Homo-oligomer: A and B are copies of this chain.
């Protein structure tokens, strides 16, 4: 009988593994369980469907269940939820929601890609129908249905992170009268330092979004969001408070979890249980600057981890060395990106650093369409090692973060970065790319601080 690989979760972390395993082992029987209605989708695209840039949720699907069946010989079982993992018996209890039945399925290899769930704080009214999280396509479908049915005119987004702000902008695009973002922090985007987050808050306000900061949410009622300063009226509430790894199943089976209860994996994506692998938003990642595990839920990381797990499952050798904390988004008029450590993170990790901030332009200053870009850069004292960077700028700004992510991975110093042979032509950059200007200023700050220290 063929060996069976059982995959729990039909999105990136699971299906990237399934397809890589298949490429290397034609003989394997592969069964994949997905509790929702979609496989391998871009949840990051949901705001663009809500905003109307993208026609429908179906466009976000990279590969359908049928494509996995036909192209990869994967037995994809939809609306099928793994209820329990029995490690000693090497089996999983499956709930088939479609046919209302439960059965057991054995496995030789198990791969867990159960993803993450939007954080729902235990506040009064959190269970009300107008309160929506945004993580799966099923979430997106519920939210869109709600928006259509109720003819929504007032939306409140709770939490000023990426997805929250993207949803806020989407509802403005959709023509909703009043869109408000409420956050307890002093600025939106707490993955940026407050001085950079302030640039984003301003861009959101300039776009007609009400941004209420330093305001804690106390609960919800049928008419909106309750805060210490009164009620914010809403006929739809979106939770943008981040996500938590969905690991109750793994924990119940005795599989080790770590940071934020994410599944502990080694560099080949092996869990603590022999023959059990995991990838994606349910897992830890190793942070290459912090040099410790973190939980970062991003599609690009899930895909990389899934691929590595699948290569190893298929008998190959691949490792996922880790992340540096890169993230990017486009919000209203500005592009926003970050990588490595913010000041808060660097301080918490015990680094001493120099932080510099420069303003430059996305193209040569004289070239049509040149827009502002602000880059903040952190370098370690004495060593001058790049620790992190954040940028906010106009069109063409964002992808510069990838140079910084690559430099972080290579453990470059800011002095080394001043000589990077970055591309220059007037439509793309000033003759000193803003990244180089920031590196120069950071290198000068490191040198000055060394001189001052004697």
Binding site for B on A (CB under 8 A): 12, 42, 44-45, 48, 53-54, 59-60, 62, 288, 298-301, 303-304, 307, 319-330, 335, 337, 339, 364, 366-368, 396, 398-403, 405-410, 412, 416, 418-429, 431-433, 435, 440
Contact = CB atoms under 8 A, between A and B. Distances in A.
Contact of A423 (B337, B410, B412): B337
Contacts of A428: 328, 330, 335, 398-399
B419 A326 contact: no
A329 B45 contact: no
A425 B367 contact: no
B432 A300 contact: yes
Contacts of A396: 396, 399
Contacts of A425: 44, 327-330, 398
B48 A419 contact: no
Contacts of A298: 424
A405 B431 contact: no
Contact of A402 (B364, B398, B402): B402
Contact of A323 (B408, B421, B435): B421
A327 to B, nearest CB: 7
A85 B59 CA distance: 68
A427 B431 CA distance: 26
A367 B53 contact: yes
30 contacts: A42-B364, A45-B364, A53-B368, A299-B424, A299-B431, A300-B424, A300-B431, A300-B432, A303-B432, A319-B419, A323-B421, A324-B421, A327-B423, A328-B423, A328-B424, A330-B427, A337-B423, A339-B423, A399-B423, A399-B428, A399-B429, A401-B423, A402-B423, A403-B406, A405-B423, A406-B410, A406-B420, A407-B410, A409-B410, A410-B412
A166 to B, nearest CB: 8
A437 to B, nearest CB: 11
Contact of A45 (B42, B299, B412, B426): B426
Given A407-B410, A408-B421, 14 more contacts: A42-B364, A42-B366, A53-B368, A300-B433, A320-B419, A321-B416, A326-B423, A398-B428, A401-B423, A402-B422, A402-B423, A403-B403, A405-B420, A409-B416
